[in-house]
Structure 1
Amino acid sequence: MTDPRPVIAAVRDGRGLDGPGAALIAQGLADGSVSDAQAGAFAMAVLTKGVGTKGRVALTRAMRDSGHVLQWDLSGPVVDKHSSGGIGDTVSLVLAPLLAARGVFVPMISGRGLGHTGGTLDKLEAIPGFLCDQPEDEFRRIVRTVGCAIIAATGDVAPADRRLYGIRDESGTVESIDLITASILSKKLAAGLDALVLDVKSGSGAILKKPDSAERLARALVETANGAGCRTAALITDMDQPLARSAGNALEVAEAIRVLRGEAGALRDLTLALAAECLALAGQSVDGLEATLDSGAAAEVFGRMVAAQGGPRDLLDRPAAHLGAAPVIRAVPAPQGHVARIDVTALGHAVLALGGGRVRAGEGIDHRVGLDRMAKLGEPVGPDRPLALIHAADDTAAEVALAAVQAAYVIGEPAEPGPLVRDRITA
């Protein structure tokens, strides 16, 4: 069968999607034999009728197999983590070296930020000389010798998804859980993983703000990834406040280094929780995980990874010397009281307006700018305890951000923060 129309009609009529049909659609997306009109019709059929777990598994596998799928021959399991995106989410920079320090291998293929959430690659590119674009042989060498590497996807990783991603935006089908699931997992599973842990955010700073939406996505991802042969679990985690104290690329790298050096806080706590899930999925012991982080072993791996990917060898010892500083730093004043509520998405947009993110793919960003020392829920603020520090390129940008940050915070009676991990989803 080479005509995609019967496959589209089957999905449209509620008859589902099987393996051969998914393969035809995915290959046609990759090689151009499925037209934009047909791709849009397929996406709309999936949105309106759904394809169920079996159909999601079939589509995920087919999209994964539309390009190059890595295979590994290493001395330990191959694992990774995916986050649905939030503010101050710098987990990957701590998690990858922590897992590598425990003897598992982390070939992390990540993306750049778009919209109010930051991207892992943008954070790493705040490090002078760090190269996210690595040829496959070099990627393999770094993973084998260091234990982890974080790179950008090459053009031959899940090309069907790259085409369908744009079609979804144009056809108004972005919110389809089936298509979101296949998009995320086809790229992750192309890395040849043995295990995957998912961090699905819920709250005011998340893409999926409602708990039931986050749970639906988490369950679809876990069911589909396990059905595709990769041991997977998900944590639904809090994004009603920023995860870290910083939002902005260089500032988040500096905070990740502090966590690798022993700093406490939610970023450390969530990293440990996700690392424990990942190790358990890979059949590894989780005993002594905190000790591994506290010993400096993860920091040492991070330093080796940075050097292997072109960054400075002394970044851990001299982060301030290498991470660019913004010329304007301004405290955001607050009335006396406690943090009662935070519009976390608004904080992300403030960083975006400072130049620390992008609205359209391909736009340049200023790695120096962002927010630091952000107040969290329930904490006291006032004339001597600002809401945050703004790092800006100039005074005008700082003034605009100051107003935006003030508007994002509600000051009143102290709020009790919810649990960092709201739920755990397994097969």
Structure 2
Amino acid sequence: MSNLRLIIKREFIARVRNRTFIVMTFLSPLIVIGMVSLIAWLATINSEGVYKVAFVDETGAFYKDFVNSETTYYINYSDLSLDKAKDSVIIKEFNGLLYIPNKKNNSEIAKSVQFYVDESPNISILNDIEKIIANKLTTNNFKEKGLDLNAIRSSEALVNIEIENFSGEKTSKMSGYIKMIFGGAAGYFLMMFIIIYGNMVMRSVIEEKSNRIIEIIISSVKPMQLMLGKIFGTSFAGILQFIIWVILGGTLLFTISFIFGADPQPLSIEPSITVQDDYQQDIQLIIQDIFKLPLGILLSSFLVYFLGGYFLYSAIYAAIGAAVDSETDSQQFMLPVILPLMLGIYVGFFSVIENPHGTISTVFSMIPLTSPIVMLMRIPFGVPWWEILISILLLIGSIIFIIWLAGKIYKVGILMYGKKPTYKEIFKWIKY
């Protein structure tokens, strides 16, 4: 056990003292925030351009309905023929030309409208144009049938559903998206952690093996102790990094809630509690929804599944590192390792978000190779404690089996040089 402690300490110190580890621990949250801000800023810039659309309205009924906005500028070319309008649009480099032909009825007009453009049209602008034309044609149909437009418009009802639970606590309409974002982020970051730290273990084994240092170490340490020491030492470094990120994230969340004046306590429906601005109320409800998530269970589960998933996959990575002589040779074994992780992500985003308690979501949250990711995506939606317990027990059982299996491969492969092993040869090593 003393040898194991020494190896764990050595691997932990080697990781923590690494300059890259220190920089990325404190820089990663800022990078994530910066990337989100950059995407939002780029989206804003992308939407700032004015989309110039010329139109030829042969009916003479629509020209008043095309009103300029911040994003769209309409130019009336109805006094030109279609061919001349096309030539002018090309010369002046407008974004598109809308053609509304004169037909005998509204139904034929709706089927005959054309939009000329060289590049793919802006979808939102196209939807706005379709809405304008559809509203005008609908109004014309009402008039032709002798319907009272004022009566119809006054009869329209605007519904704004307020969401509350049975105890009277309000929640936002974004509640489902918040759960999806938190669950998806937890699953995705876990996958990245497993890949990053698993590769660290594999590279460490390959490096010591290629430098022949492993031959000296093996003379005084059992192969299983060496493998476990690398796995545990690297995992403790990952836990330290995770704790620092939780502290930084928690501080950021409380800072944002303080800035927006949000109270983490549920917003009651009592008349005495009012919010001056609808936007501020929406922000407050969203922040309250975040605080109402099972954050404690989510964080503790992330830690448990991080350790479980890491031990499971790191044992595989260590076995691969022992079996090959270089990182290039390891690529032939990477697909079976990455595939379950990718499957967990796809199941999470396409099944869990759609139906978190469905059969597919439940089954994959129990399979050890995918459960660390899929179960984390399910937890924000509420998962019975017994399902989490079963999932963890199955994961622990699989870890024990995989570590035993990887230890067999590690013991033989760590002293093998100069030959690329095949799956058949690795299977033989297990029998030794």
> Is the structural similarity TM-score above 0.5?
no
Q: Given the two structures, how large is their TM-score scaled by the length of structure 2? A: 0.20
In proportion to residue count, which structure has more helix?
2
Instruction: Select the structure of larger CA radius of gyration.
Output: 2
